[in-house]
Amino acid sequence: MSFAKHGRASSTRGVKNLNIVVVSPEKFGNTAADIVQRVTENTEAPNITFPTGDSPLPLYRELVNRYQHGKLSLANVQAFGLDEWGELEPGHPIRCISRMKTQLYSETDIPVEQIYYLEPNTDDLDVHCEAYDKRIADMGGLTLSILGIGINGHIGFNEPGSKATVRTRKIQLADRTLNVSQKYGFDKTPSWGVTLGLATLLESKEILILATGAHKAEIVHLTVNGPETSDVPSSLMRRHPNCTLLLDEAAAQLLKK
Ligand code: F6R
């Protein structure tokens, strides 16, 4: 594997199918938005998962910017929330759906009736999760899964130990996830969440994984070069035939040049 370090995107095929793209922080949002725009323009009604967290923020800023300048429409997008915290009441500002509305949905032309999300406060959560997967399947499966990586390798809230065969479900959050999530300013950090399962994500036509910053360098290295194992769920994404790992230079620093 090799990659060049420069201002433009450099791309290489890593372990198995991973398409590794390294860009400067300034180009990160633009490069990710190009991928999303290509999918939205080439697909009649793309089903797209949207993660929260820091990694997708440059992407969301760029999508909003393009929409505001009349260069992009997301009107045909069917938007699926990737995961959600348990124990927070509907409308809580830290909820993933609340942040997605603020950062992207309400700032673009995605119709509200095309926005789907996981609702943890449901009488029968198993039934709700099954219905979420079924809705995706009935709509033709995911077109593009946009994902971040937790420092422990989690994908969505598929924490270490999650197998490639798991579907949407309730999950106990790992200690490292709970520590990192202090950045959201919880009064009391939820101990569990709900997440789209790895199997549903791996069935997506295309996957885009975003990682930025030096604190992600170690897990990016393990994702690319470590063993393919459910101990590091992000490593399981390598088996997907059309997966791009978009990194800034800091996140890519431990990959072999
Ligand atoms: C959030 C999510 C998580 C994050 C991951 C990285 O909806 O699914 O898997 O993508 O924890 O978070 P950031 O981007 O904040 O480093």
C-alpha 234, offset from chain centre: 11
Alpha-carbon gap, residue 220 to 201, rounded angstroms: 19
Q: What is the average pLDDT score of the chain?
A: 93
Q: What is the pLDDT of residues 71-116, one digit of tens each?
A: 999 999 999 999 999 999 999 999 999 999 999 999 999 999 999 9
State the pTM of this model: 0.94
Q: What angle do CA 51, 57, 63 make, to 5 degrees?
A: 95
Nearest CA to ligand 1 atom 12: 53
| CA proximity to 193, closest of 230, 235, 162 | 162
Q: What is the pLDDT of residues 25-53, one digit of tens each?
A: 999 999 999 999 999 999 999 999 999 99
Whether the CB-CB separation of 132 and 157 falls below 8 Å is answered with: no
What is the position in ligand 1's atom list of the atom closest to the CA of 215? 16
Q: What is the pLDDT of residues 129-186, one digit of tens each?
A: 999 999 999 999 999 999 999 999 999 999 999 999 999 999 999 999 988 888 988 8
What is the position in ligand 1's atom list of the atom closest to the CA of 213? 16
Is 159 an annotated catalytic residue?
Answer: yes
Residue type, 189: T
Residue 162 phi, psi dihedral angles, 5° rounding: -75, 130
Whether the CB-CB separation of 210 and 174 falls below 8 Å is answered with: no
Model confidence at 256, pLDDT cuts 50, 70, 90, reads confident
Model confidence at 12, pLDDT cuts 50, 70, 90, reads low
Q: Give the model's pLDDT for residue 15.
A: 59
Whether the CB-CB separation of 46 and 145 falls below 8 Å is answered with: no
Which residues have C-beta atoms less than 6 Å from ligand 1?
A: 51-55, 82-83, 96, 148-150, 154, 156
Q: Give the model's pLDDT for residue 112.
A: 98
